[in-house]
Amino acid sequence: MNFAERAKELVSKMTLEERMAQLCNKAPAIERLGVPSYDWWNEALHGVARAGTATVFPQAIAMASSFNDDLLEQVGDVISDEARAKYNVYKKFGGTEIYQGLTECAPNINIFRDPRWGRGQETFGEDPYLTGRMGAAYVRGMQGNGKSKYRKVDTTLKHFAVHSGPEGKRHGFNAVVSEKDLRETYLYAFKYCIDHADAASVMGAYNAVNGEPATGGKHLVEDILYGEWGFQGYMVSDAGSVKDIHEGHKFTKNEVESAAFALNAGCHLNIGTSYRELPQAYAMGLVSEETITKACEKLFETRFRLGMFDEDCEYNNISYDCVECDAHRALNRQMARESIVLLKNDGILPLKTPKTIAVIGPNADRVSLLLGNYNGIPSRYATILRGIQEATDARVLYSAGVFPSTTSQMSDIYREAVVTAERADVVILCVGLNPSMEGEEGIDAPNSANCGDRADIELPKRQQELIRRVVAVGKPTVLVNVSGSCVNLCEADRLCNAVVQLFYAGAEGGRALADVLLGKVSPSGRLPVTFYRSTDDLPPFEDYSMENRTYKFFKGDPLYAFGHGLTYSNIIETPLDENTVEVFNEGPYDTAYSVLKYEYIPHKSLCGFKKIFVRAGERITVRFD
């Protein structure tokens, strides 16, 4: 029998009450049928998350900067190995608990339409095509890319759909969009990942779209996802999003009606507790036995496809020894290197054997800046300061300069930074944001006054003053901005000799940055988002129209454009025909390099990219399909 037939046979032996109980994420055991308990909720955004030690890769927005979907597919393969390894040992306890399973709530392929959204760091940026390509690569790597009749893990595309803030209003927010923006921008990557990577699952968003709750909306779920696209996977709610249908959106009267509404629309699994009301909904005639049974069959087909009931599933042999092993850490460092974006360089980089390096700033030695959010715990890691200390024989001086908060007991917070800069040949000035300032409502960003979002794109005022005072010392200065999103770097661009963007870079981030600063590798990252000059450049945050948003539609002059990123060499692209370009490295450095292809429809739109490695003096011909 195939997986669907096996699921149908098993479910037929369950009572109706047992079937309904299986539709919540905490699915209980059915001992008489040999079904162990299973919690469907697991996280793997950029590594196995919230389940202890794991290889923590760069945050998703950082990996998007690599413009290297082949490398990202390898990352997905490694992460799913670690997820399998953990599942293999935890299932021996008789069942799995939250964050121990094979059904991963990742990737987040929402469009990062506005830099004030705190969760934008979880996405692959502002471009639908880039998001689709990177998302599909991640899904293929995670799920096993069809190499076996079993799936290694399930991925869940989230959040379906039109979801990118405001965080504080998300449980009742109604995103109003035109059909054009819906199709071209907000849904494109979802369809791409389903068509090109056979994504197992889709997660409904908290918000409503044009008046319909996203978790069960007729137009989104019934008409488009299942109707037009013919999606064959399963749909899950976000945590508590079924409850939002009546509490936040007032679309139904109570939780019983909300549970029936979501299940009838095709939301098979409830992450939360709302589906505990299904017995009452069934008794009231709001949901049929057939609908309940089909949902249960779909979920057990998935569990069979994951090999949960088969001893001969080859993924059962993945050992726990792979977790944070040397090979995984090496891949992590490679991805971190390719994620670093050089925004400005007057020739100061790579550093030319300085005798004394001053590493200054609040982001120089903070572990949280490596991790972003939805992260695991690395047992070995390197902050920026530690990475530089490990990589050079030069004397390395350090000053935090300023802190997120001050107390009356502190002395002048800038003097030590100035004194440290005075004693150095070159300054590495580490500023920016941190995950306590941007993240998810109710979970991350305790230092945000906007439920994880930002009111503006400015650096904290104390950091702005720190930059001015350190630069005034007169030493060559490299500014490293650490953030998960766009920050106004106009003053830094004007004052500093070089500017580097380090998105939350993972456990190997400090070592990878040292590799770039000291010239062991040439930088090759490109921005997956626009870096604007001012908050005034942005439309109202709650406006979901794409008018004047992202590089496609922005009418102003950005400081750093989408796709911007320098190398240490001089790369010349010469078009040979509409789909072919010659890449010539006329500079002195070997370097990785991303070739981007755009079309104009009539606005500029990314339609292709390829990551290559080109040696000094080498010419490579790159052809796009």
Q: Under a CB-based contact definition with an 8 Å cutoff, are residues 565 and 500 in contact?
A: no
In the predicted model, what is the mean pLDDT of the chain?
96
Binned at pLDDT 50, 70 and 90, residue 293 comes out as very high
- Taking only the tens place, the pLDDT of each residue in 38-67 is 999 999 999 999 999 999 999 999 999 999
Token output for 324 = 């944070």
Q: What pLDDT band is residue 412 in, cutting at 50, 70 and 90?
A: confident
**pLDDT grade for 402, boundaries at 50, 70 and 90:** confident
Does 447 score more than 50 pLDDT?
yes
The sheet carrying 208-209 orders its strands as: 174-175, 208-209, 212-213
pLDDT score at 53? 97
Banded model confidence at residue 404, pLDDT cuts 50, 70, 90: low
- Does the pLDDT at position 408 exceed 50? no
Estimate to the nearest angstrom the gap between the alpha carbon of 92 and the chain centroid: 31
Beta strands in 62-163 (DSSP E): 103-104, 154-160
Catalytic residue among 39, 77, 238, 444: 238
100 vs 600: CA distance, rounded Å: 46
> Does this model's pTM top 0.85?
yes
Q: Is the pLDDT of residue 200 over 50?
A: yes
Looking at residues 244-252, what average pLDDT do you find? 97
Q: Tell me the pLDDT band of 411, cut-offs 50, 70 and 90.
A: low
Q: What are residue 483's phi and psi, to 5 degrees?
A: -165, 170
Residue 518 in this model has a pLDDT that exceeds 80: yes
pLDDT at 406 over 60: no
Chain-centroid distance of CA 133 in Å reads 13
Alpha-carbon 66 to chain mean position? 13
Decide if pLDDT at 519 tops 80. Answer: yes
Query: Over 70: is that where the pLDDT of 405 sits?
Result: no
Q: In which element (H, E) is residue 202 found? A: strand 201-204
What pLDDT score was predicted for residue 240?
95
Per-residue pLDDT tens digits for 589-608: 999 999 999 999 889 999 99
For the segment 481-502, the average pLDDT, to the nearest whole number, is 98
Q: Which parts of 444-590 are beta strand (E)?
A: 477-483, 498-503, 571-577, 580-585
The single-letter code of the amino acid at 183 is R
Q: Mean pLDDT, to the nearest integer, of 220-237?
A: 98
**What pLDDT is recorded for position 413?**
80
What are the pLDDT digits (tens) for 318-345? 999 999 999 999 999 999 999 999 999 9
403/612: higher pLDDT:
612
Residues linked to residue 30 through DSSP beta bridges, in sequence order: 35
Residue 107 has pLDDT above 60, yes or no: yes
Judged by phi (left if over 0) then psi (alpha if -120 to 50, else beta), residue 336 lies in alpha
> Is 412 an annotated catalytic residue?
no
Q: What is the DSSP string of 586-605?
A: -SSS-EEEEEEEEEESSSEE
The pLDDT, as a whole number, for residue 584 is 98
CA distance 80 to 47: 8
pLDDT of 449 reads 80
Stronger pLDDT, 455 or 402, i.e. the higher one: 455
Express each pLDDT in 148-196 by its tens digit.
999 999 999 999 999 999 999 999 999 999 999 999 999 999 999 999 9
Kindly report the number of other CB atoms within 10 A of residue 600's CB atom: 8
Nearest-10 Cα torsion for 264, 267, 270, 275: 0
